[in-house]
Copies of this chain bind each other. A is one copy, B any other.
């Protein structure tokens, strides 16, 4: 079965105004899918859509929506009425950074709304459609943070763990029905948001990730286009995928460590990203 026959005619990419989401949309368009893109900012969506149509000559639909809205999924369903969605990539996220007790409770709840409630509702809606058609795919973009508790990203890591384990369970429940579900575990990626936080706090990657600017061996964030492209060749090899074999090997090595050691190492890494206390990173 070719890609559009299994995953077409429409892809729905949630969280696609820039960075990794826009890159996922591009990969879908390049494979012959029509692409619906969802994000909060209409102007950014319009710009992404213009690029998709120009590069790939495909049909697009732009949907302004906020995954933090409790009715996000219902509004999305209404906006997509009559269009058959064969592939859904859930890439929306927020990443409140800093000590858990100092982050406002409303930000923790927003984190749950976007990364637990919204993907649950979208998978419940689209999963039933795809299962009844006997084909389709759903990808929940998660994070290396999900693999253990992570100080200063504690709520974010917990919400991403929900998303990862949700995808794994759905992978198993739906794999005999022709529907592919997977979690995609992404580590630090040089998205526009990542770059903005680096610039704002004058962090090491504020000026970019050209290897020539760093000592040999410095772990550099991945580029969003590279991360997005790496999903597709392995899409059906779930339930848990990584952009590179190195990411996978790192995760597997971590899973073998005593939890206290693993959690402490993850926390030390997150504090390096956000040395100055409270920050917020929107994915």
Contact = CB atoms under 8 A, between A and B. Distances in A.
Main secondary structure, interface of A, reads helix
Q: How large is the interface on A (under 10, 10 to 19, 20 to 34, 35 or more residues)?
A: 35 or more
Nearest to A168: B149
22 contacts: A101-B124, A105-B120, A109-B121, A112-B112, A116-B162, A149-B171, A149-B239, A150-B165, A150-B169, A154-B166, A154-B169, A157-B166, A157-B169, A158-B161, A161-B162, A169-B263, A169-B267, A172-B263, A172-B266, A239-B260, A239-B263, A256-B256
Contacts of A109: 117, 120-121
A260 B172 CA distance: 8
A205 interface: no
A160 B165 CA distance: 9
B101 A131 contact: yes
A165 B146 contact: yes
Contacts of A158: 116, 120, 161-163, 165-166, 169
Interface of A: 99-101, 105, 108-109, 112, 116-117, 120-121, 123-124, 127-128, 131, 146, 148-155, 157-173, 238-240, 252, 255-256, 259-260, 263-264, 266-267
A244 to B, nearest CB: 16
